[in-house]
Amino acid sequence: MKNIYLVILILFLANCASNDDFLDQEPEINSNIEITRIDELDKLFNGMGMPAIPNQVGLWCTDNSSMPQSILDESTTFSQTQIDQYLFNTKINRDSDRTWGPFFFYILRANLVLDYINSGELIESDEPGLKELLIAESHFYRAYYLFELAVIYNLYPSEANANELGMVLRKTSSLTENQSRATLRQTFDFILSELEMALKYPSDEKRSVYRINKATVNAVASRIHLYLGNYDKALEHANNALAGHSAMIDYATEVYELDYTFWYGDFVYPNTAEQVPFSGTSIADFYVDKYFYINYTNGNWNTSPSQELLDLYDDNDIRNLFFIEGWFTRYGATTNPWVHYMNSYVGYNPAGPGVPEMYLTRAECKARNNDISGAMADVEIVRSHRFHLDNYTALAIPSDAKGAVETIIEERRREDPYEYRFMDIKRLNNDPLTDPIILSRSANGETVTIQPDDRRYARPIGDEIVILSGGATQQNQY
């Protein structure tokens, strides 16, 4: 029987690639407690709260971000790693890959749960359905986190790219498992098979806000199928997710201005889940329209929007409150103190699919099926929760499917600019209906243009990942 010592060791090593501080510390293992019951397994692997994973790619590798040169000249708020991502460099200046490791931490945790259960040695729980939930959650985690990794590190999974490098497919908790990369086709075949396993979970109940239910799995399935261009399936799963949960936060009553004075100046912050320090309000308590909770972080408190993104917002849009003017004065910028995006907390962005995303996904699928009025009705459901209705005018109805899809994509950018824009750019650049997206940016005298078919959309894996795998995990080729 596996024991808790092995559990701690595997999860510890899974995360070490993202944090090498362990080299200076002595291990602190005081007991060797054996897991014998399903409910003991559940307590060990759940209740950890919301994951917080660095995702510099989702922030800097899109047209929603910018690095004003005046700020680069006057401060060091943008790290070299962030500048490298912003310029789509293929050699990232960093000590370790702080994205790959944390994502795989949760995949290996899921693998360990399945290994325990598949051993057949655990005593069943008295709690009905707990074993089935653990199995479904494990397959769900493997599908979700592997998909997020594939979006960051792989090319778009088109037919032409089917045999390109995909992800390492970790299916067990063994430290000796093969760490070579599968093909893109094999990667997404595995992701979809894991989704199908998770979708077998029948319960609409959520045991806590951080656990899954049927709606959670459908929401993630909708996102993945949208990325793949499987619009009928994306629509089906969006409908199923919304049937399970469709409540949305009304910003007109839930988001408001709050004045703060700190040593670096006076600012007006939006008051959302975590903007009131010491309030005790959690993100999960505030964002009740999320199906799954995860935080993406940039680590430097410098979420800097592009002017292109700012121009997408109507003056009366309450989401404007998330953009704090003059933020970079705190870093010494005087020529152009610019703007900072803060949704839940500084440098944090609540991720994971939510109700607004499902409405916008459903809208896009309807538009592609020439149901323009139905598509715009879904868009208006989202927008009606983002304005004070006494000063809101509905969007005009586009004349064709392309115009409707473009309108919906703009709303996706406004609604969540730093979670799935990178995913959207990659999929839309492989979409015959929409115009190609060409990125151009400059920093410190270097200017780059990223064409739709640029191989740099598959971001480089940290060198230490390649080294720790003994060369089995192959670096992307450019």
Give me the mean pLDDT over the 435-449 stretch. Answer: 97
**pLDDT score of 175 more than 80:** yes
Predicted confidence (pLDDT) per residue in 160-174, tens digit: 999 999 999 999 999
**pLDDT score of 423 more than 60:** yes
**pLDDT score of 30 more than 50:** no
- 348/346 Cα distance (integer angstroms): 6
- 298/58 Cα distance (integer angstroms): 9
For 62, the token pair is 């899109």
Q: Please check whether residue 355 is in contact with residue 248, taking contact to mean a CB–CB distance below 8 angstroms.
A: yes
> Residue 108 contacts by C-beta under 8 Å, 6 or more apart in sequence?
10, 11, 14, 170, 173
Count CB atoms within 10 A of the CB of residue 8. Answer: 14
**Would you state the pLDDT for residue 259?**
66
Domains of the chain (ranges, CATH numbers): 4-50+96-230+459-468 (1.25.40.390)
**Would you state the pLDDT for residue 345?**
77
Top-confidence residue, 278 or 425: 425
- The mean predicted confidence, pLDDT, of the chain is 89
**Would you state the pLDDT for residue 7?**
47
Question: Cα angle at 23 between 18 and 28, to 5 degrees?
Answer: 100
- In the chain, the largest separation of any two C-alpha atoms, in whole Å, equals 68
Share of the chain above pLDDT 90, in %: 72
- 262/40 Cα distance (integer angstroms): 46
- 252/254 Cα distance (integer angstroms): 6
- 324/259 Cα distance (integer angstroms): 11
**pLDDT score of 339 more than 90:** yes
**Would you state the pLDDT for residue 275?**
45
**Would you state the pLDDT for residue 8?**
46
Spell out the SS3 assignment of the chain.
CCEHHHHHHHHHHHHHCCCHHHHHCCCCCCCCCECCEHHHHHHHHCCCCCCEEECHHHHHCCCCECCCHHHHHHCCCCCHHHHHHHCCCCCCCCCCCCCHHHHHHHHHHHHHHHHHHHCCCCECCCCCCHHHHHHHHHHHHHHHHHHHHHHHHCCCCCCCCCCCEEEECCCCCCCCCCCCEEEHHHHHHHHHHHHHHHHCCCCCCCCCCCCCCHHHHHHHHHHHHHHHCCHHHHHHHHHHHHHHCCCCCCHHHHCCEEEEEECCEEEEEECCCCCCCCCCCCHHHHCCCECCCEEEECCCCCCCECHHHHCCCCCCCHHHHHEEECHHHHHCCCCCCCEEECCCECCEEEECCEHHHHHHHHHHHHHHCCCHHHHHHHHHHHHCCCCCHHHCCCCCCCCCHHHHHHHHHHHHHHHCCCCCHHHHHHHHCCCCCCCCCCEEEEECCEEEEECCCCHHHCCCCCHHHHHHCCCCCCCCCC
| Residues β-bridged to residue 262 | 265
- 363/380 Cα distance (integer angstroms): 10
**Would you state the pLDDT for residue 48?**
66
Top-confidence residue, 299 or 433: 433
**Would you state the pLDDT for residue 280?**
56
- For residue 441, CA distances in Å to 59, 62, 422 come to 14, 10, 15
**pLDDT score of 3 more than 60:** no
Reported confidence tier of residue 285, pLDDT bands at 50, 70, 90: confident
**pLDDT score of 2 more than 50:** no
Task: Return the closest-CA partner of residue 169 out of 204, 193, 142.
Answer: 142
Reported confidence tier of residue 9, pLDDT bands at 50, 70, 90: very low
**pLDDT score of 13 more than 80:** no
Give me the mean pLDDT over the 324-343 stretch. Answer: 89
For 445, the token pair is 């005298």
**pLDDT score of 21 more than 60:** no
| Tokens 């653990």 sit on residue | 134
Predicted confidence (pLDDT) per residue in 204-218, tens digit: 999 888 999 999 999
**pLDDT score of 14 more than 90:** no
For 227, the token pair is 């990325």
Give me the mean pLDDT over the 449-462 stretch. Answer: 97
**pLDDT score of 276 more than 80:** no
Give me the mean pLDDT over the 380-388 stretch. Answer: 97
Q: Please check whether residue 108 is in contact with residue 14, taking contact to mean a CB–CB distance below 8 angstroms.
A: yes
Judged on CB neighbours under 10 Å (0-12, 13-18, 19+), 123 is exposed
Give me the mean pLDDT over the 339-362 stretch. Answer: 91
**Would you state the pLDDT for residue 270?**
54
**Would you state the pLDDT for residue 451?**
98
Predicted confidence (pLDDT) per residue in 56-66, tens digit: 999 999 999 99
| Residues β-bridged to residue 101 | none
